[in-house]
Chains A and B, each alone.
Chain A
């Protein structure tokens, strides 16, 4: 029993890392633009397919092609923001919800047209064997995903904390007018932040690609999870999202061990409802303004 709990804690933590990175993207986008991106799940899927495409066409593993995935997804996010989000940036939130939801449908269908609905998978020779520690076993692609997630989050951290663009992003998210008066082009910062958020989704997708099956609609399951995590961590609080992602990963895994797989999702949404009822500002409870 102790072994299986430890095992499920490890599995949960590793998956939680991937959730954390994806949700960080949701939270960053919300923090800067006050828009909840309901296309985030679909963008995770796009990331999977970008990785899959390079694997299937060029034989490159998703880990090696990751820089290209990041670049492609950043540009995709930047473009999406400029073309579709920016025009509705001041619209009422239900319109924004419709737009990002619509975007999600468009992306899914685009993937269906390009790649068909057939399930795909990436199997990397040498990566399918688990690493054994006594009775514990650690899935290699999950371990690598976790390591790269840590690196990617660190990258986002450094970008936000140590660069002028990063400071401009933080400044814009808390004080739009003040930022504008410094000569910061808020529209451009919005597009960059959206690009970074989408790149996070893309990296999560690419790292999930060797872990699970790939299909155009597989992101739907992640969409709500990302949203729950981002709210749990406090919408806009990106480090809150990281912690919440790890927690949700572990909860999901332990709940699935204790109650069975189909219950684990239920537990997550139960937590979500409790959070909304008792701590709607999220784990770290910054007061909303």
Chain B
């Protein structure tokens, strides 16, 4: 179980995350939604150890991981498919995937995981030898997801994976995320595409200006009048 306890994160003097608490049970899928600049990415960066919080804690399986370095957090199985993909564009698709299993434990299973990723994302196998930067936006997003899977994650965190994708591709991509969840991986999905994200999730959190404005069962949130008005335009 991953828990975030009363987290505060600043950029300089600007308070971006202001007392966020949340928890993700093993095997669960949660969606974190919120508008531009709400602080979603900042929260994820803090979970991954890229950014240190002012106060608060991040606990994974009973261990305080708040001050661990990013590589230690990845080694624990908490892995991110980052906003904007952050691929290595001049390297081939396969090299990108392989770097997903850079750390020791994942490297041992590299061959098998790669086979599994190619099975799940067959388009990538066809493009294996092409530079990742030469692929279309949708395909690049698939590479980023595949790269995250290569780390053998226990929790896979997606930061706005649907951004810039056509509706058709968005559906395909959400379907892949659902498969990843069904395979037993815990999933945290950050999205602005509120409806899609909540439909798939078990539970949801709404982040507004650095604090949790709403939380609950995803199906309840989808029915919530306030949320409908501000995020779904209904």
Q: Is B231 in the interface zone, CB < 8 Å from A?
A: no
Q: Determine whether the beta carbon of A185 is less than 8 Å from that of B91.
A: no
Q: Determine whether the beta carbon of B74 is less than 8 Å from that of A171.
A: no
Q: Is B174 in the interface zone, CB < 8 Å from A?
A: no
Closest chain B residue to A185, Cβ basis:
B71
Q: Determine whether the beta carbon of A182 is less than 8 Å from that of B107.
A: no
Q: A183-B102, A185-B71 are in contact. Are A178 and B87 (CB under 8 A)?
A: yes
| Residues of chain B with a CB closer than 8 A to A181's CB | 48, 50, 70, 74, 79-80, 82, 86
Q: Is B165 in the interface zone, CB < 8 Å from A?
A: no
Q: A180-B50, A183-B103 are in contact. Are A170 and B88 (CB under 8 A)?
A: yes
Q: A178-B82, A180-B50 are in contact. Are A167 and B74 (CB under 8 A)?
A: no
Q: Determine whether the beta carbon of B90 is less than 8 Å from that of A168.
A: no
Q: Determine whether the beta carbon of A182 is less than 8 Å from that of B91.
A: no
Q: Determine whether the beta carbon of A175 is less than 8 Å from that of B87.
A: yes
Contact code string B107-143 (vs A, CB < 8 Å = 1, else 0): 1000000000000000000000000000000000000
| Residues of chain A with a CB closer than 8 A to B98's CB | 164, 167
Q: Determine whether the beta carbon of B147 is less than 8 Å from that of A185.
A: no
Q: Is A68 in the interface zone, CB < 8 Å from B?
A: no
Interface size on B, residues (CB 8 A): 26
Q: A164-B107, A177-B82 are in contact. Are A182 and B100 (CB under 8 A)?
A: yes
Q: A184-B71, A185-B69 are in contact. Are A167 and B99 (CB under 8 A)?
A: yes
Q: Determine whether the beta carbon of A175 is less than 8 Å from that of B88.
A: yes
Q: Is B24 in the interface zone, CB < 8 Å from A?
A: no
Q: Is A64 in the interface zone, CB < 8 Å from B?
A: no
| Residues of chain A with a CB closer than 8 A to B107's CB | 164
Number of A-B contacts (CB under 8 A): 63
Q: Is B95 in the interface zone, CB < 8 Å from A?
A: yes
Which has the most chain B C-beta neighbours within 10 Å: A167, A175, A180, A182? A182
Q: How far is the CA of A167 from the CA of B99 in the complex (A)?
A: 7
Main secondary structure of the interface of A (DSSP, over half): helix
Q: Is A174 in the interface zone, CB < 8 Å from B?
A: yes
Q: Determine whether the beta carbon of B82 is less than 8 Å from that of A167.
A: no
Which residues of chain B from 139 to 189 have any CB-CB distance to chain A below 8 Å in the complex? Answer: 147, 151
| Residues of chain B with a CB closer than 8 A to A174's CB | 88-90
Q: Determine whether the beta carbon of B151 is less than 8 Å from that of A182.
A: yes
Closest chain A residue to B80, Cβ basis:
A181
Which residues of chain A from 153 to 198 have any CB-CB distance to chain B below 8 Å in the complex? Answer: 164, 167-168, 170-171, 174-175, 177-185
Q: Determine whether the beta carbon of B74 is less than 8 Å from that of A182.
A: yes
Q: How far is the CA of A168 from the CA of B80 in the complex (A)?
A: 17
Q: How far is the CA of A183 from the CA of B68 in the complex (A)?
A: 12
| Residues of chain A with a CB closer than 8 A to B86's CB | 175, 177-178, 181
Which has the most chain B C-beta neighbours within 10 Å: A175, A177, A183? A183
Which residues of chain A from 124 to 178 have any CB-CB distance to chain B below 8 Å in the complex? Answer: 164, 167-168, 170-171, 174-175, 177-178
Q: Determine whether the beta carbon of A183 is less than 8 Å from that of B87.
A: no
| Residues of chain B with a CB closer than 8 A to A164's CB | 98-99, 102, 107
Q: How far is the CA of A22 from the CA of B201 in the complex (A)?
A: 55
A167-B99, A178-B88, A180-B70 are known; give 13 further A-B pairs, CB within 8 A: A167-B91, A167-B95, A171-B99, A174-B90, A175-B86, A175-B89, A178-B87, A181-B70, A182-B99, A182-B102, A183-B71, A184-B71, A184-B102
4 nearest A-B residue pairs (beta carbon): A178-B86, A183-B74, A183-B71, A183-B103
26 A-B residue contacts at CB 8 Å? A164-B102, A164-B107, A167-B95, A168-B102, A170-B88, A170-B91, A171-B88, A174-B88, A174-B90, A175-B86, A175-B88, A175-B89, A177-B82, A178-B87, A179-B88, A180-B50, A180-B70, A180-B71, A181-B79, A182-B99, A182-B100, A183-B75, A184-B71, A184-B102, A185-B69, A185-B71
